[in-house]
Amino acid sequence: MPTHTDVPATTDKPTSLADRTGRGLLALCGIATLGAFANGISIMATVAPERLMSEAWRTLAYLVFVGLFVMLAVAPRTQRGTWELVFVHKIAITAFAITAGDTPDANATWPIDVALVLATAVAYVLCRGWYGWRSTTLASATGPLPAHSTG
C-alpha cells in the first residue's frame, strides 16, 4: 500500500522550450540566492556582536534555498513537497516584509522576494512541478520512483 497520495500519471510533458525556460528561471533564483548569501557574509563581518547569531542564521539559510532551487532545477517533476515548501516560505516572508512597514530590511527584501515568488510560480507552471505528486514519473532524470516495501 502506498504511503502517499497518488495522483494519476498523465502523458502531456512540457515542451522542451518550456522545460528549459522553467529550469533556467530556477537557476537564476539559485544564483540570486547565492548573491544574497555573499551579501550576508559581508553583513556578518560588520554586524554588532548582539546581532551576529541572527545574521549567521539568516545567511546560512540562503544556502538551504540555493540547494532547494538546485533540486528543483535538476529534477522539477520528481520533487514531492519541495515546490510547496519554497512557496510557503517565500510567500510568508514576502507578506511579513510588506506588513513590516518602513523598516530598512523589509523595504530592501520584499521586492526581491516577490520576484522570486513570481519566477518560481512561472517555473512551476512551465516545468509542470505538480507532476511530482504523480504515481509514476515522466521524463525523469532519475528514473521511476522506487517500489514501496511491504515488509
**Contact (CB, 8 A) for 69 and 30:** yes
The pLDDT, as a whole number, for residue 1 is 47
pTM over 0.85: no
31 contacts: CB under 8 Å, gap ≥ 6: none
State the Cα–Cα distance between residues 43 and 132, nearest whole angstrom.
37
Low-confidence ranges of the chain (pLDDT < 70): 1-11, 136-151
pLDDT digits (tens, 9 = 90+) for 52-63: 999 999 999 999
The pLDDT, as a whole number, for residue 144 is 46
Q: How far is CA 12 from CA 16, 122, 131, 139, in A?
A: 12, 18, 10, 10
The pLDDT, as a whole number, for residue 134 is 85
Block residue for cell numbers 530590511: 105
State the Cα–Cα distance between residues 37 and 44, nearest whole angstrom.
10
For the record, the C-alpha cell of 62 comes out as 540562503
Domain regions of the chain by residue span: 16-133
Query: Measuring CA to CA, which residue among 115, 128, 120, 119 is closest to residue 18?
Result: 128
pLDDT digits (tens, 9 = 90+) for 88-119: 999 999 999 999 878 888 888 899 999 999 99
